[in-house]
Amino acid sequence: MYITINNTKVEVLKGETLIETARRTGLDIPSLCYAKDTIHKSSCMVCAVKDCDTGQIIPSCTTLPVEGMKIDAESEDVQVVRVLSLELLLSDHRADCEAPCSMVCPHGLDIERVLNLYDDGRHEDAYALIAATFALPTLGCEGCKVPCEKICRRKSVDKGVAIRDVIGKIVGMFDSVPAAAEKNEKKSTKDLFQSRLGRFTTREKEWLKENVDTPSGCLHCACAGREGCKLRLYATAAGLKRTRYEASSALPVMKKQRVTDKMWFESAKCIRCGLCVYNSQNGFTFKDRGFGMQVVIPDESLSNIGDELAELCPTGALYLTTVRDEK
C-alpha cells in the first residue's frame, strides 16, 4: 500500500500507523503520548497531521493509513495545532526546568547541584564542583551581590537559603584544592525552553514549610527529570519562550512519591499521556475524569512497577535518581 506524505509517495508496511510510516521514511513527527512497541492512545495531539482530502486534523500516532491517503505533515495549519497543543500541555505543567539560583549565578556555578550534593552528604563531590568553577582558595561568592539568594524560591515560603554560607561551609571542610580540578563545563540552557513554577499558593507554602527540611533548606526546584524531557525539547524546537496561557494546574507542586528505590513520581509534571498506565500491570491508574483527571499509583500497587517505566515518560514526572534520598 502506498500513501503520499508532503507530496512524496511512500510505502506503508503492514500494521504501521502514520507516525511510524513517516518516521521510517525520515520525517520526524513529534509526539508525547506515543512510544514505539508499547500500548498507547492518542491524547497530546503534538503529532497532528492533516488529511488533505478531508481537511481534517488527525493524530498520526493512532491513525492507520488507507490506500491513496494524502497527508500534510508540515504546513502552517499543522504547525499551529502542534504549538497550541504544546501550550495547552504546558499550562497544566508546573515545574522549574532549571533552578532559578543556578540560572542567575554570574560565575556559572550549578548552585542547585551543589546544594543537592550537600544535602545528600556528598560533601567531597560538592567541593569538587565548586573547585571546578572558582579559583580556590579564592571564593567567587566573596564580593558577589548574591542574586541567587535574592531569587531563591524558599524565600517566598519562609526564609531563603543562605547559599553563600553553605558554599563557604563546604569549602571550609577541606584543607586543599583538588590537584586535578577541571574547569566546570556547565551546559548552557539559555536557548532551551524554561518552564516556570509561578507563585506558590498559600496551601503550597504551608506544605513546603512543614515538609521540606533539607540540611541546606533548599527546595531543589530544578526538575530532576529534565534531561531528555520531550516536552521541553519540542517546546524549544517550536520556538516557545513563554506560553500564552498561565499555569492552571491544581496538582500539588513539588510533592514526590517514591515508586521504587530509584524512581520517583511528581504528579504536577504529568501530562496524563497514559503511557505509564497502559504499560504497567496493576500499577499506575487514572483517577477521576475530565480536566480533574490525574494519574496516580496506589501504595498497594508499588511493587508491580519497574524502573524501566521511567523511560516511557515524556516529561520529568517519572524519573530515576541516585543523587539524593528525597523526601
Place of cell 524554561: 194
pLDDT of residue 177: 62
HEC-encoded secondary structure of 82-114? HHHHHHHHHHCCCCECCCHHHHHCCCCCCHHHH
- Compute φ and ψ for 49, nearest 5 degrees: -135, 175
* CATH entry 3.30.499.10 includes domain 2-90: no
Q: Residues of the chain whose pLDDT is less than 50?
A: 180, 324-327
**Cα 27 to Cα 16: distance, rounded to the nearest angstrom:** 14
Of 100, 211, 195, which Cα lies nearest the Cα of 147? 100
Q: Are both 2-90 and 223-327 of the same fold?
A: no
Strands 57-59 and 48-51: antiparallel
**Cα 61 to Cα 29: distance, rounded to the nearest angstrom:** 9
**Is cis: bond before 100, omega within 30 of 0?**
no
C-alpha cell at 189: 540552557
Give per-residue pLDDT as tens, 230-254: 999 999 999 998 777 776 667 778 8
Give per-residue pLDDT as tens, 64-106: 999 999 999 999 999 999 999 999 999 888 889 999 999 999 9
282: left (phi over 0), alpha (psi -120 to 50) or beta: left
C-alpha cell at 169: 561551609
SS3 content of the chain, % helix, strand, coil (to 5): 30, 10, 55
Place of cell 526546568: 97
**Cα 193 to Cα 304: distance, rounded to the nearest angstrom:** 34
DSSP designation for 222: B
pLDDT of residue 92: 83
pLDDT of residue 324: 46
C-alpha cell at 5: 506524505
**Domain coordinates in residue numbering, the chain:** 2-90, 96-216, 223-327
- Compute φ and ψ for 88, nearest 5 degrees: -70, -40
**Cα 279 to Cα 268: distance, rounded to the nearest angstrom:** 20
C-alpha cell at 120: 545528600
- Whether 305 and 259 have beta carbons less than 8 Å apart is answered as yes
- Whether 170 and 114 have beta carbons less than 8 Å apart is answered as yes
Place of cell 571542610: 173
pLDDT of residue 80: 96
pLDDT of residue 97: 92
Whole-angstrom CA distances from 18 to 67, 85, 103, 131, 255 are 12, 19, 40, 51, 37
* CATH entry 3.30.70 includes domain 223-327: yes
Cβ-based neighbours of 240, under 8 Å, separated by 6 or more: 83, 86, 87, 90, 193
